[in-house]
């Protein structure tokens, strides 16, 4: 019986040969698993299986299977695999990690109620204002020469994403990166992500007896406790701040106001409300930041794409105003860049793992209840694939989206692909996708309108090529820091950014509540400097 553990049961989709007890655990890739999964897909097909001890993992790399199993049969593929860590840290209340439980359903209902396209569009002014500050901050790097290393871009994208979620959700913005509100949050998130890395803690989900190790012998348990306390304190403080603001009648239309007003109707107590806010914050910050970092990386690596985009945006928007979302309708090439960035370097190349709530039969294969399912985006939307649905899949080539709706090569049926794939599937699809897409659309246009993005240069003045494969490990990836040069495209545009930033003061003011003394001082200082500069310039 012991020898049978780890072997592939009859009826499972094919996969790499197993060994007793471990199954395929000894060959399961711990870094960048999407590469290995792509290789295995070549060998075993678009639907293959792995055995991890007694557990089964199915990897889908075939667009039709993804549509059929993840979307059409979403009622049986909407679970998540067990996560003891998720239980320990969030008590099962983290929407993205939670199993298909009543708590998850409650939170999901609440997210669906507040994050509709229409409700999200109400928050466009603050997204636009924050996107303007992003341009302004890039323009005002500490280096007067407007020469940038990676730091300002990476940190400013993070500040943008965090401030947008803080404002939209809790009605209070985060004006600068160097504040505990951001650095404290990021430090805890690093600890939390490190704990979630494969191999960081003993395999408690596969070998449940390990859960019983007493805390004094398990550093990881003490780490989980610390992360839990820090996250819980932050997320409940943010909810309390919103409640307090509402008591003072300082409503500003934030989503959390809506949730707090409907707490009883939605069936959410304070504990759940705090984790709900925390999950949206976590889900919405790193992802948006990573997308924008990949965009800049790709534009630097492919200068000809940037050139064409500059031509289009100059033709449609010109020199005298900043772009608006309406302009995007008239700019097919920029829209193609937006889709191509999702395809070229998906933020989550394996999405987030789903799990089956019941046994499914598909094309003669059995997928047992409790199977973990990964969707490997690389197969159909990314790189390193031989028989791809795309021409030159490894290249950043927005033109493909001008030739067919899903970017597929001539003669290929791309109808199983959906433009929402980068945001996941079925009942688990990203609830923040409308908010995210607005952020992406605004910033892609702004960055292309405002700046030339170029590689760094060496001491001889030669460009240093960027490495488009240098990415951070983890389920949610991002480029590793890279050096580049960002300069305003014209003096007139730099002037418009200054003016527009000054105009943001009105939009920002109602979100500048509950700021720390340092943040208040920062806001006052940056506005004064700008006003003085404007007066000087006449």
- Is 224 annotated in some ligand binding site? no
Select the residue interacting with ligand HEM from 95, 295, 297, 478 (CB under 6 A): 95
Residue 291 found at the interface with ligand HEM (CB under 6 A): yes
Nearer Cβ to ligand HEM (174/497): 174
Token readout for 245 is 């603001």
Query: Shortest approach of ligand HEM to residue 291 CB, angstroms?
Result: 4
| Per rule CB under 6 A, count of chain residues that contact ligand HEM | 27
Residue 159 found at the interface with ligand HEM (CB under 6 A): no
Token readout for 399 is 């033109």
Residue 337 found at the interface with ligand HEM (CB under 6 A): no
Cβ count near 294 (within 10 Å) = 22
Residue 140 found at the interface with ligand HEM (CB under 6 A): no
Residue 288 found at the interface with ligand HEM (CB under 6 A): yes
Per the document, the length of the chain is 538
Residue 347 found at the interface with ligand HEM (CB under 6 A): yes
User: How far does Cα 271 stand from its chain's mean position?
Assistant: 25
Token readout for 529 is 């400097």
Nearer Cβ to ligand HEM (41/436): 436
Query: Shortest approach of ligand HEM to residue 95 CB, angstroms?
Result: 5
Q: Do 357 and 74 touch, CB atoms closer than 8 A?
A: no
Nearer Cβ to ligand HEM (302/423): 423
**Which span sits near ligand HEM by CB under 6 A: 44-52, 205-213, 430-438, 486-494?**
430-438
CA–CA distance, 423 with 420 (Å, rounded to integer): 5
Residue 350 found at the interface with ligand HEM (CB under 6 A): no
Query: Shortest approach of ligand HEM to residue 336 CB, angstroms?
Result: 17
Token readout for 477 is 């990836």
Residue 28: phi, psi to the nearest 5? Answer: -65, 125
Residue 348 found at the interface with ligand HEM (CB under 6 A): yes
Select the residue interacting with ligand HEM from 287, 294, 339, 382 (CB under 6 A): 287
CA–CA distance, 39 with 380 (Å, rounded to integer): 13
**Which span sits near ligand HEM by CB under 6 A: 204-212, 295-303, 411-419, 425-433?**
425-433
CA–CA distance, 512 with 505 (Å, rounded to integer): 10
Q: Do 350 and 372 touch, CB atoms closer than 8 A?
A: no
Residue 432 found at the interface with ligand HEM (CB under 6 A): yes
What DSSP designation does 368 have? Answer: -
Q: Do 105 and 93 touch, CB atoms closer than 8 A?
A: no
CA–CA distance, 508 with 178 (Å, rounded to integer): 18
Residue 280 found at the interface with ligand HEM (CB under 6 A): yes
**Which span sits near ligand HEM by CB under 6 A: 46-54, 121-129, 419-427, 477-485?**
419-427
Cβ count near 434 (within 10 Å) = 18
Q: Give how far Cα 109 sits from Cα of 265, 268, 271, 283, Å.
A: 11, 11, 16, 16
Nearer Cβ to ligand HEM (344/501): 344
Query: Shortest approach of ligand HEM to residue 385 CB, angstroms?
Result: 19
**Which span sits near ligand HEM by CB under 6 A: 152-160, 217-225, 228-236, 426-434?**
426-434
Query: Shortest approach of ligand HEM to residue 287 CB, angstroms?
Result: 3
Token readout for 121 is 């569009």
Q: Closest Cα to residue 396, out of 449, 466, 329, 330?
A: 466
Nearer Cβ to ligand HEM (40/425): 425
Contacts of 40 (CB under 8 A, 6+ apart): 15, 16, 48, 59
Instruction: Output Rg (C-alpha) for the chain, integer angstroms.
Output: 24
Q: Do 335 and 419 touch, CB atoms closer than 8 A?
A: no
Token readout for 420 is 């929402």
Residue 352 found at the interface with ligand HEM (CB under 6 A): yes
Query: Shortest approach of ligand HEM to residue 271 CB, angstroms?
Result: 17
Query: Shortest approach of ligand HEM to residue 351 CB, angstroms?
Result: 4
Nearer Cβ to ligand HEM (477/504): 477
Helices 491-509 and 517-537 pack at an angle, to 10 degrees, of 140
Residue 351 found at the interface with ligand HEM (CB under 6 A): yes
Q: Closest Cα to residue 20, out of 31, 32, 9, 5?
A: 5
Query: Shortest approach of ligand HEM to residue 167 CB, angstroms?
Result: 12
Residue 425 found at the interface with ligand HEM (CB under 6 A): yes
**Which span sits near ligand HEM by CB under 6 A: 210-218, 429-437, 481-489, 507-515?**
429-437
Query: Shortest approach of ligand HEM to residue 258 CB, angstroms?
Result: 14
Cite the DSSP H helix spans in 250-318.
255-261, 263-266, 270-301, 303-316
**Which span sits near ligand HEM by CB under 6 A: 58-66, 284-292, 300-308, 314-322?**
284-292
**Which span sits near ligand HEM by CB under 6 A: 148-156, 186-194, 349-357, 512-520?**
349-357
DSSP state string for 332-351: HHHHHHHHHHHHHS-SSTT-
Residue 448 found at the interface with ligand HEM (CB under 6 A): no
Nearer Cβ to ligand HEM (136/345): 345
CA–CA distance, 101 with 224 (Å, rounded to integer): 22
Token readout for 350 is 């394996």
**Which span sits near ligand HEM by CB under 6 A: 81-89, 231-239, 296-304, 423-431?**
423-431
Residue 108 found at the interface with ligand HEM (CB under 6 A): yes
Binding residue positions for heme: 430
In the complex, the residues that contact ligand HEM under the rule CB under 6 A are 95-96, 108, 165, 279-280, 283-284, 287-288, 291, 347-348, 351-352, 354, 422-425, 428-432, 435-436
């Amino acid at each position: 019986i012991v020898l049978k553990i780890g072997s592939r049961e009859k009826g499972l989709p094919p996969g790499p040969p197993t060994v007793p007890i471990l199954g395929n655990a000894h060959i399961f890739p711990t870094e960048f698993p999407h590469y290995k999964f792509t290789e295995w897909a070549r060998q075993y097909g678009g639907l293959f299986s792995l055995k991890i001890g007694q557990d089964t993992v199915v990897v889908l790399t075939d667009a039709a299977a993804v549509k059929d199993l993840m979307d059409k049969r979403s009622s049986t593929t909407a679970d998540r695999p067990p996560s003891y860590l998720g239980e320990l840290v969030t008590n099962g209340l983290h929407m993205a990690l939670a199993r298909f439980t009543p708590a998850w359903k409650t939170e999901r209902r609440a997210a669906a109620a507040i994050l509709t396209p229409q409700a999200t569009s109400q928050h466009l002014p603050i997204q636009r204002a924050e996107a303007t500050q992003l341009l302004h901050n890039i323009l005002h790097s500490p280096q007067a020469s407007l020469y940038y290393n990676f730091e300002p871009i990476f940190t400013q994208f993070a500040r943008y994403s965090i401030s947008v979620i803080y404002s939209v959700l809790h009605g209070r913005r985060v004006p600068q990166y160097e504040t505990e509100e951001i650095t404290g949050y990021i430090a805890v998130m690093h600890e939390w992500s490190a704990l979630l890395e494969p191999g960081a803690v003993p395999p408690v989900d596969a070998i449940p007896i390990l859960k019983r190790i007493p805390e004094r012998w398990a550093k990881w348990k003490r780490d989980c406790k610390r992360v839990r306390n820090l996250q819980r304190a932050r997320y409940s403080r943010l909810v309390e701040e919103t409640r307090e603001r509402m008591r003072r009648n300082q409503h500003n239309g934030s989503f959390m106001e809506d949730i707090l007003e409907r707490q009883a109707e939605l069936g959410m107590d304070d504990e759940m409300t705090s984790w709900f806010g925390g999950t949206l914050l976590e889900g919405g910050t790193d992802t948006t930041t990573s997308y924008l970092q990949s965009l800049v990386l790709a534009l630097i690596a492919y200068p000809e794409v940037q050139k064409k985009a500059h031509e289009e945006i100059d033709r449609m928007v010109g020199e005298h105003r900043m772009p608006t979302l309406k302009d995007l309708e008239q700019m097919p090439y920029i829209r193609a860049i937006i889709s191509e960035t999702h395809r070229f370097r998906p933020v989550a190349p394996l999405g987030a793992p789903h799990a089956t709530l019941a046994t499914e039969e598909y094309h003669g294969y059995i997928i047992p209840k409790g199977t973990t399912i990964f969707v490997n985006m690389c197969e159909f939307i990314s790189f390193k694939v031989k028989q791809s649905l795309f021409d030159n899949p490894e290249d950043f080539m927005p033109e493909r989206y001008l030739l067919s709706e899903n970017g597929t090569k001539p003669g290929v049926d791309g109808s199983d692909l959906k433009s929402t794939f980068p945001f996941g599937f079925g009942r688990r699809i990203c609830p923040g996708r409308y908010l995210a897409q607005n952020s992406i659309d605004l910033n892609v246009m702004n960055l292309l309108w405002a700046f030339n993005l170029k590689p760094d240069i060496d001491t001889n003045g030669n460009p240093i090529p960027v490495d488009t494969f240098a990415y951070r490990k983890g389920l949610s990836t991002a480029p590793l820091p890279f050096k580049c040069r960002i300069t305003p495209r014209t003096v007139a545009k730099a002037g418009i950014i200054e003016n527009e930033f000054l105009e943001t003061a009105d939009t920002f003011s109602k979100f500048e509540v509950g700021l720390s003394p340092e943040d208040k001082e920062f806001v006052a200082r940056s506005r004064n400097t700008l006003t003085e500069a404007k007066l000087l310039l006449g």
